[in-house]
Amino acid sequence: MDNPRETGTGPPVRDADRAAAPGRRGLMLAVVTAGFALNFWAWALLSPLGPRFKDILDLSAFEQSLLVAVPVVVGSLGRIPVGALTDRYGGRVMFPLVSTATIVPVLYLGLAGHTSLAGLLAGGFFLGIGGTAFAIGVPFVNAWFPPERRGLAIGVFGAGMGGTAISALTTVQLVDRYSITTPFLVTAAVLAAYAVLAAVLLRDAPGRAVPTQPLIRRLGATGRLGITWQASALYAVAFGGYVAFSVYLPVHLQNAYDLEPADAARRMAGFVLLAVLMRPAGGWLSDRFGPARVLAFSLAVVTAGALLQSGTPPLAPWGTVAFLSMALALGAGSGATFALVALLTPADKVGSVTGVVGAAGGLGGFIPPLVMGAVYGATDSYAGGMFLLAAVAAGALAYTMARVRPAEIRSRSARDPSAPGVTDVRP
């Protein structure tokens, strides 16, 4: 006998499908996490080469910042329609499609677009397609896992953002050893292989919620959900901070500490890897203690780390302590934000909400590199930019405690009065 769905408008889940689901969840999670990492690898290809292009093309600090920021903003805004399309067509269709589309700008940049600023900006614009993969994976994973495990599962998927570390660790080395085209050709080949693999292996969750409303109407309904804007504000700080550091940290380290490009890229990779490892940890902690608590602690650490770094302390140890503590906090905060999305969003709107929230996170990563470049160009110091980061993180902390925490408590108490964080805190 068929069992009705918990929420959503999809078909009933058969007992056979429900029994088979646990054995397939791990495979599905592994495939989409790998896809997310590979698309993010492509999305971040220009960042490690920013200093090299600055020297070759005689770019200003602002032009260099713009070069690495353009893929971020396009990949961010593109998540809105891609998330809504994922709600409708599923990850099985969308992941191979986006991975294949990303190959085109990667090849263009490697073969022709790297010879001028205009070519780099044009290629970087379409390279942003790779950044939309995030809006595919969250609703896909959300549909496969039960509510009590979604925080950890989405956090594991979010660890795919470590694809930027692959770029940081390999791009400059491949250029130095072979040629400027090599990292782009390698990435394109890997994306092509993944697109085939995803088309063969991926399956959407049995009985997933499939919306029937037109795209524009669904996006309008998404905009009326409180969680859309609450999570967007928080993700703009948490993931936006991560993206900003992952694309701009090599520039910062070279300008502020006179590091060599390869050394700066390696340090940026360490920052990324710590944030990546903390993302599933943030989701797991959210399952146990509630997303708002994890977010509040993470934002407090970011505030302290940014204030410490505003004085440009010696890299060993205080600069390293500041950067690595912020990496840990931004990773955990990013995982906690989507645990919050999974907790408060209707099942058939997860993709649409993810698209908007993911766009906010990406835009949060677009603005700081431009601000940092402009501030450094005007003052020859990063103090002003770091003070701004501290102020934004402190504001987000206050917002979390005043607005987000009560909403989480109401949702948890409605579902289960004994849930973590319900009985010990007043709404």
Q: How many CB atoms lie within 10 A of CB 22?
A: 11
Q: Is the peptide bond before 317 cis (omega within 30 degrees of 0)?
A: yes
Q: For position 12, what pLDDT does the model report? A: 44
Q: For position 415, what pLDDT does the model report? A: 61
Q: Is the peptide bond before 71 cis (omega within 30 degrees of 0)?
A: no
Nearest-angstrom CA–CA distance, 281 and 287: 10
Within 8 A by CB and 6+ apart from 149, the residues are: 287
Q: For position 418, what pLDDT does the model report? A: 54
Q: How many CB atoms lie within 10 A of CB 217?
A: 11
Instruction: For residue 301, give the nearest of 404, 399, 227, 396 by alpha carbon.
Output: 396
**Beta-bridge mates of residue 13:** 3
| Backbone angle region of 282, left / alpha / beta, with phi > 0 → left and psi within -120 to 50 → alpha | alpha
| pTM tops 0.85, yes or no | no
Tokens encoding 342: 């999974």
Nearest-angstrom CA–CA distance, 313 and 309: 6
Q: For position 83, what pLDDT does the model report? A: 86
pLDDT by residue for the chain (427 residues), tens only, comes to 333 334 344 444 444 444 445 668 889 999 999 999 999 999 988 888 887 888 888 888 778 778 877 887 888 888 888 988 888 899 999 999 999 999 999 999 999 888 888 999 999 999 999 989 988 998 899 889 887 788 888 888 988 887 877 887 888 889 989 999 999 999 999 999 999 999 999 999 887 777 777 778 877 888 888 888 888 999 889 988 887 787 778 878 888 888 887 788 788 878 888 888 898 899 889 888 889 999 999 999 999 999 998 888 888 899 899 999 999 999 999 889 988 888 888 877 777 888 888 888 877 877 777 777 778 778 877 788 888 889 999 999 999 999 888 878 877 666 665 554 444 433 3
Tokens encoding 357: 């929230």
Strands (E), 139-263: none
Q: Which residue has the tokens 């993944």?
A: 194
Contact 243, 360 (CB under 8 A): no
Residues in the chain: 427
Q: How many CB atoms lie within 10 A of CB 312?
A: 17
Instruction: For residue 29, give the nearest of 17, 39, 40, 21 by alpha carbon.
Output: 21
